[in-house]
Amino acid sequence: SNAQSLTQLFALDSLLEQEEIDIRDTVRKFGNERIRPHVAQWFEEAKLPARELAKELGQLGVLGMHLDGYGCAGMSATAYGLACLELEAVDSGIRSLVSVQGSLAMFSIHHWGSEEQKQEWLPRMAAGEAIGCFGLTEPDFGSNPAGMRTNAKRDGDDWILNGTKMWITNGSIADVAVVWAQTDLEEGAKGIRGFVVPTDTPGFSAPEIHSKMSLRASVTSELILDGVRLPSSAMMPKAEGLRGPLTSLGEARFGIVFGAIGAARDCLETAVEYSQSREVFDKPLAGYQLTQAKIADMALEVGKGHLLAYHLGRIKDRGEIAPEQVSLGKLNNVREAIAIARECRTILGANGITLEYPVIRHANNLESVLTYEGTSEVHQLTIGKALTGEAAFR
Ligand code: FAD
E strand or H helix that includes residue 154: strand 151-155
What 3-state DSSP class applies to 214?
A: coil
Give the dihedral of Cα atoms 189, 193, 198, 202; nearest 10 deg.
Answer: -60
Is residue 365 within 8 Å of residue 293, measured between CB atoms? no
- Alpha-carbon distance of 248 to 264, in angstroms, equals 25
**Using CA of residue 259, residue 260, residue 265, residue 267, what is the dihedral sign?**
positive
Strand partners, 168: 221
Is residue 306 within 8 Å of residue 12, measured between CB atoms? yes
- Alpha-carbon distance of 98 to 85, in angstroms, equals 11
User: Shortest CA distance to 159 belongs to which of 88, 227, 241?
Assistant: 227
- Asked whether this complex has an ipTM greater than 0.90, the answer is yes
Q: pLDDT digits over 40-92, tens only?
A: 999 999 999 999 999 999 999 999 999 999 999 999 999 999 999 999 999 99
pLDDT band with cut points at 50, 70 and 90 for residue 1: low
Given the residues 120, 373, 377, 390, the one annotated as active site: 373
Q: At residue 203, what is the residue type?
A: G
Angle of helix 359-371 versus helix 243-277 axis, rounded to 10: 160
Q: At residue 124, what is the residue type?
A: R
User: C-alpha distances in angstroms, 41 versus 38, 47, 126, 342?
Assistant: 6, 8, 27, 21
Say how many Å lie between the CA of residue 237 and the centre of ligand 1: 27
Q: Is 391 in the pocket of ligand 1 (CB under 6 A)?
A: no
Instruction: Name the closest-CA residue to atom 23, ligand 1.
Output: 137
Residue 137, pLDDT above cutoff 70: yes
Say how many Å lie between the CA of residue 143 and the centre of ligand 1: 5
Across 99-122, average pLDDT: 98
The pTM score is: 0.98
User: Shortest CA distance to 334 belongs to which of 355, 365, 312?
Assistant: 365
Percent with pLDDT over 70 in the chain: 100
Say how many Å lie between the CA of residue 96 and the centre of ligand 1: 15
Q: Is 168 in the pocket of ligand 1 (CB under 6 A)?
A: yes
Q: Is 310 in the pocket of ligand 1 (CB under 6 A)?
A: no
Q: pLDDT digits over 287-324, tens only?
A: 999 999 999 999 999 999 999 999 999 999 999 999 99
Instruction: Name the closest-CA residue to atom 5, ligand 1.
Output: 143
Q: pLDDT digits over 186-204, tens only?
A: 999 999 999 999 999 999 9
Say how many Å lie between the CA of residue 213 and the centre of ligand 1: 16
User: Shortest CA distance to 284 belongs to which of 295, 258, 37?
Assistant: 295
Q: Where are the beta strands (DSSP E) in 176-252?
A: 176-182, 192-198, 204-205, 220-230
User: Shortest CA distance to 95 belongs to which of 263, 265, 268?
Assistant: 263
Q: pLDDT digits over 82-95, tens only?
A: 999 999 999 999 99
Q: Is 236 in the pocket of ligand 1 (CB under 6 A)?
A: no
User: Shortest CA distance to 215 belongs to which of 165, 263, 270?
Assistant: 263
Say which DSSP state 132 is in.
Answer: E
Is residue 221 within 8 Å of residue 192, measured between CB atoms? no
Residue 356 annotated in active site: no
Round the average pLDDT of the chain to a whole number and report it. Answer: 97
